[in-house]
Structure 1
Amino acid sequence: MNSLLIYNGKLIGTTGILADAYLYAEDGVICDIGAGKPMHMDEEAVLINAEGLYISPGFIDMHVHGGGGHDFMDGTVEAFLGVAETHIRYGTTALSPTTLTSTIEALFQTLDAYKAAKEINTKGAQFIGVHLEGPYFAMSQKGAQDPKYIRHPNPEEYEKILAYSDDIVRWSAAPELPGAIAFGKYVRSKGKILALAHTDAVYEEVQVGFDNGYTLATHFYSAMSGITRRNAYRYAGAVEAGYLIDEMDLEIIADGIHVPSPLLRLVFKIKGVDRIALITDAMRAAGMPAGESILGGKQDGTRVIVEDGVAKLMDRSAFAGSVATADRLVRTMMQEGRVSLIDAVCMITATPARIMGLDTKGCLEVGKDADITLFDDDICVAATIVSGEVRYRRDDLNLG
């Protein structure tokens, strides 16, 4: 039996923070939580003296493309492991590898690499299924997606893709495209999460999409229509639809750049903690120095420049994915979004767990997975634990 005891910390619960707390886990599952002197000090367990650090549920990043110089579209096991081992250092215990618009051959190569990597990923953040971003997008909202691969939904193609891999858990597309509703119904019939993204839809088109399964807004505000005019008439766009449809979930890149401070405050004020998931949308330059990088696969990706804390197209005409890490999201949401620590943590733990259907993750309770992140008042990560196993720890963290 493998066991873990963390003590002398501040445990973040769903409604409050438990001081002088301990957490005990066996075989990757939380067995006991309490305050004061731990009951399990004499047992053969890995001991971590938190020394006043926060004991938090592990961060869940449901939309990430890369990090540490790797991108999932590299299509290699090395890339998958490299991304997972990069984000573990910043508190992410679980992540959903996300693709870009590409050829179907490149997509299948990436899906094959995922299948192989998930079996040997013992050092990084846990993989929780693949998110397909594209290729069914509005060309006018392509953002940094490569336009030569953007197209309308084709039943022969998307049925083939979903038949190819059981690892796909989510697909993002523009609901207003010809064939997008039939596509959405098919995706939902296979039990996958369906999200709207890179869309020029007006409110009425989003509502139809929502009624047919498009219940999540991918990187809200980014590559998404707002109020527009058509033939002199004013229409609400996808952003306004995200606010008006109460049951729609939103994910936001809370780096303070993709969604600046006033909009972070606005989205939280309207949607609240239970409908917002914080995501990095990180590309390969996350965790790397500023300078030139590549969005997408190394062989045919798009050259970008990383500056001012964000990746941009070389002509600076659009952002090209973020270089954020999960700790930065929590820190930024607190400082610029002006939310509490509990709420910021909830938006990167409990809310994404609920959206992704991860019943055993997202909070620290008896019977849940022992996915845990330890951090200080500045949200600097000291340790990241996956299923009770310490996969990252800062050198000064006291074991024993």
Structure 2
Amino acid sequence: MKGYALVGARVVLEDRIDGESAVLVRDGLIEALTAPGDLPAGVARIDAGGRYLTPGLIDLHAHGAAGHGFDTPSRAGYESVLAAHAGFGVTAMQASLATAALGSLAETLAFGAALAAEPPGDGARLLGVHLEGPFLAPEQAGAHDPALLIPPSARAVEKLLAAGRPTMITLAPELPGGVEAVRAFAAAGTVVAIGHSQARGASFAEAVAAGVTHLTHLWSGQSSLTREGPWRVPGLLEESLASTGLTAEVIADGRHLPVELLRIAARCLGGRLCAVSDATPGAGLADGTPYRLGALECVVEDGVGMLPSAGCFAGSTTGLDRMVGHLHAAVGLPAHEAVATATSVPARVLGLRRQGTIRPGNLADLALFDEDFTARATIVGGRWVVDKDGIGERAHD
């Protein structure tokens, strides 16, 4: 295969923007980052027209898009969601499952794990399944049905692990059996995150010692500062911001968190901050459109998902590309740092060694963006699965 080279792009590297180099793609891999004059003969040159060329975005936390959700074990539905997120510049993602009955979760987990083992199709890669529940604190249920929340008994944990190892689980470790569940999932190779939780102090520290490495969506489903007499007691939020070594998510859709909180997160977490879409089946749909998230009826309202019965957010309706743009333009992160929150940081969370950065030997999972980080093209394993402007046509010559 002759391959092709992307030239004329602003290549987003881990520590800077490179406006001089070409990226050579061959056999599904990034073969070289080199001067355009040093490209081998016979390689098609594709002019990126000054757009940002980034590693493909990696979304760790998304429930659906375009009217379809990962909660339903349907190949057509999953493929529709993966294709919709590829339109946001996403080349790899986890299927996040909202709280449901244990048997239903096990069935969907088995389906998703099997599908993730297949080669990617015409959308983003499916990395595996993220269980957001059912082991969550009722006080922090958010858009999860409280009636379906259960403590993480050894039997429940074993049933889920037997169905198909989740790549990530969000749980509340302060629940009875919580720390034991952390140990069991971590031992199985699952990334364990604290979320929808009241964990603080000793319970937080014990969970981290047991294997927690990640924190699910800051300020959403997290307990915060309380007072016991004259004493101020940090909640999960403050424990998260003060943590060292843990990675943490933000939903940077301009709805869930104001700019000031995103700036606090960036200052506290630095290179450990991870942007996630938390996109629902409502992503890409018009205001007023209803959708289901797990067992609950939700609606798109003012550009965000809402749970009318509880008056709270129910996930986002925004793609990850717009969140990167918001972190850059509104929050003020340099472009390469904003991109890192959706590329190299989530790759590090899951231990993906050949994704998340533009370097020789990595998978050719790439994306092209306009100045405001609107996705224009998405490349998965060297294949142009999204090409809104037709600029990648020469890749098929």
Q: TM-score, normalised by structure 2?
A: 0.95
The residue number in structure 1 matching 2:375 is 381
The residue number in structure 2 matching 1:295 is 292
Cα deviation, 1:148-186, whole Å, max 9, x if unaligned, reads: 1101111011112102214x1111100111110111111
The residue number in structure 1 matching 2:268 is 270
Match among 214, 223, 226 for residue 224 of structure 2: 226
Partner-residue secondary structure (3-state), 1:345: helix
Match among 334, 341, 345 for residue 328 of structure 2: 334
Equivalent position amino acid for 1:69 in 2 = G
2: distance between equivalents of 1:95 and 1:256? 21
1: distance between equivalents of 2:68 and 2:285? 10
Partner-residue secondary structure (3-state), 2:136: coil
On the 8 A contact 1:18/1:35 being kept in 2, the answer is no
The residue number in structure 2 matching 1:39 is 39
Partner-residue secondary structure (3-state), 2:8: strand
The residue number in structure 2 matching 1:19 is 19
- CA drift at 1:291: 1.4
- CA drift at 1:293: 2.0
Partner-residue secondary structure (3-state), 1:251: strand
Cα deviation, 1:175-229, whole Å, max 9, x if unaligned, reads: 1111101111111111111110101122332122111112211111101011013
Answer yes or no: is 1:280 the counterpart of 2:277. yes
Answer yes or no: is 1:366 the counterpart of 2:365. no
On the 8 A contact 1:77/1:114 being kept in 2, the answer is no
CA-based RMSD of the aligned residues comes to 1.7
On the 8 A contact 1:242/1:250 being kept in 2, the answer is yes
- CA drift at 1:53: 1.1
1: distance between equivalents of 2:305 and 2:81? 17
The residue number in structure 2 matching 1:138 is 137
Q: How does 1:171-250 map to 2 (within 5 A)?
A: 171-230=169-228, 233-250=231-248
Aligned residues between the structures: 393
Equivalent position amino acid for 1:18 in 2 = D
The residue number in structure 2 matching 1:62 is 60
Answer yes or no: is 1:123 the counterpart of 2:122. yes
Q: TM-score, normalised by structure 1?
A: 0.94
On the 8 A contact 2:110/2:163 being kept in 1, the answer is no
Answer yes or no: is 1:160 the counterpart of 2:131. no
Report sequence identity in percent: 32
Equivalent position amino acid for 2:387 in 1 = R
- CA drift at 1:374: 0.5
1: distance between equivalents of 2:39 and 2:29? 17
- CA drift at 1:396: 4.7
Cα deviation, 1:67-101, whole Å, max 9, x if unaligned, reads: 01100002211111111000001100000101111
- CA drift at 1:363: 0.4
- CA drift at 1:233: 4.3
On the 8 A contact 1:265/1:336 being kept in 2, the answer is no
On the 8 A contact 1:81/1:117 being kept in 2, the answer is no
On the 8 A contact 1:5/1:40 being kept in 2, the answer is no
- CA drift at 1:41: 5.2
Structure 1 residues 2 and 384, CA gap change in structure 2 (3 angstroms): farther
Partner-residue secondary structure (3-state), 1:87: helix
